[in-house]
Amino acid sequence: MSSLREAPFKVGGIVEPPYFVNRERELEELAQALRGLSQNYLLLAPRRYGKSSLLHNLKLRLEAEDNLIVPYVNCREIAGYTDFYRITVGAVLQEYERKRKVAGLWKRFQVVFQERILRAARRLEELGGSLREVGQVYLRFREEEVDERALVRATFRFFRDITQEQGLRLVLLLDEFQEVATFNSYLFNVLKKEMDLPSAVRYVFSGSSMGLLSEIFLREQAPLYLMVGKYTMEPLAEEEVVAFVRERFRNAGMTLPKEAAKELHRRCGGIPFYVQKLGLIAFHHALWQRSRTVSPQDIQRAYETMLDELDGEFEVRWLARFSPLQRMILKALASLGEARLRDLAQHIGRKPSDISSSISRLKEMMILQKRTNGTYALVDPVFAAWLARSDAQSRE
Ligand SMILES: Nc1ncnc2c1ncn2[C@@H]1O[C@H](COP(=O)(O)OP(=O)(O)OP(=O)(O)O)[C@@H](O)[C@H]1O
Ligand SMILES: [Mg+2]
């Protein structure tokens, strides 16, 4: 009866096994490289490919390693340099506490943000070492003796100091790193200097906007050009998805025949978020119908429901993110499936040169991809299906 208590799928947010499809190769490659501190990484993938979950599971995998701490920071929480200082120093300290089984350091350190200066300074003296150093800079910042940029320098300096002082390796996971791309470039200049120094600190940057991230890492003039190994995540492979969803249904006391599982994979293009969402909807339908077997037709019906459920979100994306020309391009591609630049241009009655920069932009946004055969297609097949459907409906 476990089926009624716990849903077989989890939609949204970070997932762990058994809700996490292995990603074994990625995890092992990254874990191996990071254990040896061989390099820094930029993890790139479109929305909802499972970047955050991969980072989380990478952290779990490195848990057993002695003297290695792996703090995770979501850069969406960081709106400026004071946040950067507070949130990253906090994440590092809390991981340190967990690893070394000491308590209260971060709590005691936080006096620098609240207490009167003198009292805070005294508390810092008691803490000593790298904490005193980094804390004192914050107090000087509060006294307006130094500016925000000193906080940035002190933060990176602290990462290096604490590893040396405590005999640690530090791998800092910075998720949604494109969010800090809009800061002025000071942070990146300091980061570059830091990454050039010998140290036991490595970074994994992750994000889903090629445009912003390539401004930081990938263009020749970019501040962190050639400083990171680029790691791109692919959708899940068919056999992985098939095995995963069948096991999930079996666990819930239902049967998902192979053909239906393949249909589910195909509809989702292997994008993990959709795999889970479509699986969950199909599961609920089957529960209502008191059916124990899910057919390919059931998957198709569940898919229609999924498009309905995503309607509001896709609508917002559609209206907020794209220019009129980009919309024309996307609509054309959604109905053509895939097309060469020339055919696409012709389809919307423009010259290829008129649309090529819009196409580049859409590629950078990871909305469009160029296939090996030279055609363009939408990255997200569910969004494409929604577009094709709403286009057809508007013509009815
Ligand atoms: N390896 C996986 N196996 C199964 N499902 C997964 C996996 N990775 C992600 N998912 C599914 O996708 C959802 C989104 O995952 P996650 O938040 O990790 O993606 P993301 O790429 O960080 O997304 P975003 O671009 O929105 O930040 C999860 O809630 C889960 O349903
Ligand atoms: Mg994420």
Q: Single out the residue of 274, 245, 276, 277 nearest to residue 261, CA to CA.
A: 245
Which residue, of 280, 300, 317, is where some domain finishes?
A: 317
Confirm whether 18 is domain-assigned. no
Q: How confident is the model at residue 396 (pLDDT cuts 50, 70, 90)?
A: low
Q: How many domains does the chain have?
A: 3
Q: Give yes or no: residues 221 and 247 share one domain.
A: no
Kindly report, residue by residue over 66-122, the tens digit of the pLDDT. 999 999 999 999 999 999 999 999 999 999 999 999 999 999 999 999 999 999 999
Is it the case that residue 54 has pLDDT exceeding 60? yes
Q: How confident is the model at residue 5 (pLDDT cuts 50, 70, 90)?
A: low
Is it the case that residue 394 has pLDDT exceeding 80? no
Substitution site in 14, 273, 317 for ligand 1 pocket (most atoms within 8 Å of beta carbon) = 273
What's the CA-to-centroid distance between 150 and ligand 1, angstroms? 36
- Return the SS3 of 75: helix
Single-letter residue type at 391:
D
Is it the case that residue 392 has pLDDT exceeding 80? no
Confirm whether 195 is domain-assigned. yes
Confirm whether 19 is domain-assigned. no
What's the CA-to-centroid distance between 52 and ligand 2, angstroms? 4
What's the CA-to-centroid distance between 279 and ligand 1, angstroms? 14
pTM: 0.92
Kindly report, residue by residue over 203-247, the tens digit of the pLDDT. 999 998 777 788 888 888 888 888 899 899 999 999 999 999 999
Joined together, the tokens standing for residue 254 give 């239902």
pLDDT at 2: 46
The CATH number given to whatever domain includes residue 303 is 1.10.8.60
Q: Give yes or no: residues 123 and 224 share one domain.
A: yes
Which residue in this structure is represented by tokens 């970070």?
14
Strand partners, 268: none
Q: Give yes or no: residues 183 and 326 share one domain.
A: no
Instruction: Give pairs for 285-290: CB < 8 Å, separation 24+.
Output: 286/254
Is it the case that residue 395 has pLDDT exceeding 80? no
Q: Give yes or no: residues 90 and 135 share one domain.
A: yes
Single-letter residue type at 267:
R
Kindly report, residue by residue over 323-363, the tens digit of the pLDDT. 999 999 999 999 999 999 999 999 999 999 999 999 999 99
CA distances from 13 to 95, 221, 313 (A): 21, 35, 16
pLDDT, the chain, mean: 93
Confirm whether 117 is domain-assigned. yes
Kindly report, residue by residue over 253-271, the tens digit of the pLDDT. 999 999 999 999 999 999 9
Instruction: Tell me which ligand sits closest to the C-alpha of residue 237.
Output: 1
Q: Give yes or no: residues 136 and 258 share one domain.
A: no
Q: Single out the residue of 11, 19, 9 nearest to residue 309, CA to CA.
A: 11
Which residue, of 317, 349, 369, is where some domain finishes?
A: 317
Q: Give yes or no: residues 115 and 153 share one domain.
A: yes
Q: Give yes or no: residues 260 and 151 share one domain.
A: no
Q: Give yes or no: residues 191 and 96 share one domain.
A: yes
- Can you give the C-alpha Rg of the chain in angstroms? 24
pLDDT at 277: 98
What's the CA-to-centroid distance between 191 and ligand 1, angstroms? 28
Q: Are the C-beta atoms of residues 282 and 296 closer than 8 Å to each other?
A: no
Q: Are the C-beta atoms of residues 43 and 57 closer than 8 Å to each other?
A: no
Confirm whether 156 is domain-assigned. yes
pLDDT at 43: 93
* Residues having C-beta closer than 5 Å to ion ligand 2: 51-52
Share of the chain above pLDDT 90, in %: 85
Measured by CA distance, the residue closest to atom 23 of ligand 1 is: 48
Q: Give yes or no: residues 298 and 326 share one domain.
A: no
Confirm whether 171 is domain-assigned. yes
Which residue, of 176, 200, 232, is where some domain finishes?
A: 232
Measured by CA distance, the residue closest to atom 28 of ligand 1 is: 12
CA distances from 209 to 42, 75, 113 (A): 12, 13, 33
Confirm whether 355 is domain-assigned. yes
Q: Give yes or no: residues 121 and 45 share one domain.
A: yes
Q: What whole-number distance in Å separates Cα of residue 174 and Cα of residue 75?
A: 6
Kindly report, residue by residue over 134-159, the tens digit of the pLDDT. 999 999 999 999 999 999 999 999 99
Q: Single out the residue of 20, 49, 15 nearest to residue 244, CA to CA.
A: 20
State the residue range of the domain holding 180: 24-232
